[in-house]
Amino acid sequence: VVSTQSTGGNKSALAKEENEEVGEEDGVVSAIAGSVEGLDVEFEKDSTARYDAWVDVQEKYLLLHETKRKAITLRDITAEDLAEVDALYDADRYTDLEDKLIELNTVCPHNCEVLWRLARLKWINGRTFQNSHNHKTFHLAHTLALNAIEANPSSGDAHRWAAILGYHRATKDGGKAQIYNMEAMKYHLEKAIEINPNDHQAWTILGNWHFEVAEMTSTQRAYSKYYCGVEPPTSSYETAMECFVRSDSIQPWAQNSLFMAITHLRMGGREHALEEFKRLYTRTIVTMEDYRIRKLAHIFILKLTDPSLIDRIKDMTIGRQIEGYRLPIFWHNTRSSYYMDTPAEKIMHIYSKY
């Protein structure tokens, strides 16, 4: 009886806290709407014009030097050239890959297959730079992806990377840029899926787009509507789950499984989510992305199982030492890392080189 009463008391307390949070959020929304009401303000949609000149200058470095260009004969890109490029990418030989892509971009300018691969390489390089140069590199990579679409609008890979790089560029440009980029990102992902319905990566990223939209609070929606002048899109966890399930049916991969587990948790499927997190926690670690997913799964397992105080102390002491030995000896980039690394992972990246 005591247990039942305490549980009921906890539920009523939680309900009271939720009502207070909703009330506070409604107050913030009203304040946002009132602060811009009656104001004739024209918002600037792109404040990154200073990077355009830098991109124009950098594009000349994507060609061979003038002295070498004289000995080059223009030709079409062959399947053997692309196979060699993909083999270098799979082997993480990014310096050789850049040299080969610059050579191909010189002998066959404005080729879609070369441009989106150059954009992907610039994204990989940009993730290791400091914030200022990191921003400029993402700007250049996004421009290359858009140029690839201009060269061949029917390339699903170009559309997928335009969506990915648009997200990274908008993240660096600020909150307004992220709002303006939402519909563009969705368009490119849907276009990539229309061109290639079996693109499991595009399905996963589209599912994550729907998940993030479903996660938007009323305060964020008010900011988008009143300050940015953009009516925010709507979606649901069910729509996101459909995309994740479709991706999993095409080709299962760890990042998609992580998103599926988190979405199950949001939809109330606690047991199913916990089972998926435990499966992700026991995966073999090969790349830093595998290590990141394992850490996230471990955090969710602790939250869902509510371990005892002794187990928590063990995890904070012995457990962290054991996890340190699970780090990959060498840093390997992975095609599933579509989101920015945390500062701790950047430190691990530097540490793993020595």
Question: Torsion angle, CA of 99/169/232/190, rounded to 10 degrees?
Answer: 0
Q: How far is residue 128's CA from residue 122's CA, in Å, rounded to a whole number? A: 10
% of residues, the chain, pLDDT over 90: 34
Q: How far is residue 206's CA from residue 185's CA, in Å, rounded to a whole number? A: 9
pLDDT digits (tens, 9 = 90+) for 225-270: 888 888 888 999 999 999 999 999 999 999 999 999 999 989 989 8
Asked if 126 contacts 167 with a C-beta cutoff of 8 angstroms, the reply is no
- What pLDDT sits at residue 341? 43
pLDDT digits (tens, 9 = 90+) for 33-74: 444 444 343 333 444 555 555 555 555 556 655 555 556 678
Contacts for 242 with CB less than 8 Å, ≥ 6 apart? 207
Q: How far is residue 162's CA from residue 170's CA, in Å, rounded to a whole number? A: 12
Query: Minimum mean pLDDT among 38-52, 144-158, 264-278, 328-342: which range?
Result: 328-342
AA identity, residue 234: T
Alpha-carbon 331 to chain mean position: 19
pLDDT digits (tens, 9 = 90+) for 163-218: 999 998 888 877 788 888 899 999 999 999 999 999 999 999 999 999 999 998 88
Mean pLDDT over 62-91 rounds to 79
Look at the chain and count its residues. 354
Q: How far is residue 140's CA from residue 120's CA, in Å, rounded to a whole number? A: 11
